[in-house]
Amino acid sequence: MIYRFHSFRKKRFLSVLLTMILSVSLVLTGCQSQSSESQDKKFKNFTRDIFCKEVSSNTVSLHYTLKNSEKYGIKDIPVTFGEFLEDKEAQLAAVENMQAALKRFSYEKLSKENRLTYDILEYYLDLSQKESTYFLYEEPLGLVSGIQTQLPVLLSEYQFYNREDVEVYLKLMKTTPQYFESLIEIERQKAKEGLFMADYAADTVMEQCQAFLEMKENNYLISTFVDRIQQLDELSEKEKSDYIQKNALMLKSYVLPAYSKLVQSIQELKGSGKNEKGLCHLPEGKEYYQLVVKDATGSERSVEELENLTRRQIVEDLEAMENVLGITAAEAKETAVMDSANPEEILKSLEAGISHAFPTLTNIQVQVKYVPEALEEHLSPAFYMIPALDNVEENVIYINQSHMGNNLTLYTTLAHEGYPGHLYQTVYYARTNPDPLRSIFNFGGYVEGWATYAEMCSYYLSSSLSKEQATLLQKNSSIILALYALADMGIHYDGWSRMDTAAFFKNYGIKDVDVVNQIYELIIGSPGNYLKYYIGYVEFMELKKEWVERKGENFSQKEFHKAVLDIGPAPFKIVEKYMWKD
């Protein structure tokens, strides 16, 4: 899993477009002018303007995206988390104005790099236009990566480069009640329209908030603040002590009360939801889910086509398992003893192991941290914090130890988050010097699909596993994720009930009712989440098959990996279009 302040990314991007409506006429005039300025330069100025306005829309986005925002001419920005939009007509008008501005550029006169950015922006605007109708269908309090679980982690990793960063951070904490009030208002609007979450989802959200509240004086926003403030040499010991006390006061006076108010509001709204099943049971829910799938996966395939693709991949994986002779899946698990449980050692071995099949990267710094024990139950097994664009050498991976059942799980998790997964892909892409605008987009299918692909590759990189063990374990992992993906589509598109879901998993030997209920409720609370990982992974596998077919004897894994990595996060139809271009 990858972390940046991406919750409601499209809606915040639309807020930027709204601020640009008044200047669109100037943009259009500039594009039509007959000056000697090239189309490429005009386009770069255009995308830079959008980028600067977007990252300036809230303090966390700006701080996590740029270490030195002054170099982009960004300064004196109000301290805010941002807010949630509700005006559908304004959103639609914003998108249409941006589409008009984009079309004024001469596509054929743009460089390959700018055409790629153009294609991605055009795709993103088209999807945003379609999704604007369903704004209240989205859930900012998602069970997997909702604001209630994201915010504390993002605050704990908010880097202090100087005294000003500390001051801004403390002011930001003070704005938490206003931010949560706008969030609560969205939930009230959802309840009014009959779109509020199911009762069991509301219970989970409140439990997640309560876990954070119960940390009290042991809250990790206190301990992590102390760690960060101690690294600032420009501060005297007295100043550090004062800031530490003020941070504790901000937490107690603003952040914790905001969480308490959120719990109270969710409790009040609980019971107002009209649907405890999949999205397809909502008015136009099936149409909305199709957009969720397209957004989550970056795939152009219909839901029916994705279901068929998933089933075909399951068959391929089962056949590969059957072809492994002399060993069973149970024996593979019993003998899969990994050499190390040290994350740093594992990352070094993975970094060395990928050198023959992936482009080489050097001089990467990474720090492994652990999820606070009090939040282990409510956070993902692991996640990678995306570094700032101008500080990409500093990277952080969080491990949730409660999910690390054995060393093999830790090994494959670090492959997903580290090498050749998120860490590797992020740094590689950053070193291609892409248009900064592309950093504001969130193509989960590419990003999580690549990390899942990396995780699957890692089984074959381990010296502790035989080829047969690696095959059985990797294919088994792929099949389990495929079942979750089919359940996601079954529940939200085909209308599966709990009983339908239980029957489906029972066919594959998963009979524990409590486990299936947990899966069902998690999928209800985060539509499309599993598809990012699995469909993204399979789309990379399909691209690889196409590469092998066209290259034949000249096939090179390293060349394939380089081709898709050079393009960077994008919808798969755009990846396929550009991966053949020199």
For residue 247, which of 274, 231, 224, 264 has the smallest C-alpha distance?
224
Helical ranges in 298-443 per DSSP H: 303-322, 329-335, 343-353, 407-417, 422-430
Amino acid type, 494? D
In terms of DSSP bridges, do strands 365-370 and 382-385 run parallel, antiparallel, or are they unpaired?
Answer: unpaired
- Could you say which DSSP state residue 455 is in? H
Q: Vertex 116, ends 110 and 118: CA angle to 5°?
A: 70
Per-residue pLDDT reduced to its tens digit, 312-340: 999 999 999 988 866 655 565 555 556 67
* Model pLDDT for residues 99-151, shown as the tens digit of each residue: 999 999 999 999 999 999 999 999 999 999 999 889 899 999 998 889 999 89
Whether 243 and 170 have beta carbons less than 8 Å apart is answered as yes
Q: Compute φ and ψ for 268, nearest 5 degrees.
A: -65, -35
Q: Using CA atoms, how far apart are residues 225 and 207, in angstroms rounded to an integer? A: 25
Residues 471-488 have pLDDT tens digits of 999 999 999 999 999 999
Residues 69-83 as b or e (16 or more Cβ within 10 Å = b): beebebeeeebebbb
Residues sharing a CB contact under 8 Å with residue 10, sequence separation 6 or more, in sequence order: 124, 127, 128, 131, 295
> Which of 244, 461, 254 minimizes the C-alpha distance to 351?
461
CA distance 280 to 286: 4
Tokens of 375: 């939040």
Q: Provide the mean pLDDT of the chain.
A: 89
Instruction: Please give the Cα distance from 119 to 46 (Å, whole number).
Output: 14
Rounded Cα gap, residues 483 and 487, in angstroms = 6
- Ranked by mean pLDDT, which of 322-331, 389-398, 530-539 comes out on top? 530-539
Tell me: the pLDDT tens digits for 179-226?
A: 999 999 999 999 999 999 999 999 999 999 999 999 877 888 998 999
SS3 46: helix
**Nearest residue to 272 (alpha-carbon basis) of 194, 325, 164, 328:** 194
Reduced to 3 states (helix: H, G, I; strand: E, B; else coil), residue 396 is strand
CA distance 297 to 416: 17
pLDDT of res. 335: 53
CA distances, 553 to each of 457, 460, 541 (Å): 21, 22, 18
Dist CA 415 CA 338 (whole Å): 14
**Six-digit token string for 381:** 């097994």
Distance from chain centroid for Cα 387:
13
Indicate yes or no: pTM above 0.85. Answer: yes
φ and ψ of 397, to 5 deg: -120, 130
Is a pLDDT exceeding 50 seen at residue 31? Answer: no
How far apart, in whole angstroms, are the C-alpha atoms of residue 374 and residue 214?
A: 8
Residue 501 structure tokens: 């879901």
CA 275, 277, 282: angle at the middle one, nearest 5? 50
Predicted confidence (pLDDT) per residue in 67-97, tens digit = 999 899 998 889 999 888 666 777 788 889 9
Positive/negative CA dihedral, 404, 406, 410, 413: negative
pLDDT at position 328 is 58
| Number of residues written out for the chain | 582
Q: Determine how many CB atoms are found less than 10 A away from the CB of residue 164.
A: 9
Average the pLDDT over each of 300-304, 409-413, 571-575 and give the range with the smallest value.
409-413
**Helix pair angle (9-20, 39-55), 10° resolution:** 120
* Local structure of 341: helix, strand or coil: coil
Torsion region of 518: left, alpha or beta (phi above 0 gives left; psi -120 to 50 gives alpha): alpha
Q: Which two three-digit tokens encode residue 380?
A: 């993902």
- The 10s digit of each residue's pLDDT in 345-365 is 999 999 999 999 999 998 888
Predicted local confidence at residue 377, as pLDDT = 73
**Cα(486)–Cα(149) distance, rounded to whole angstroms?**
26
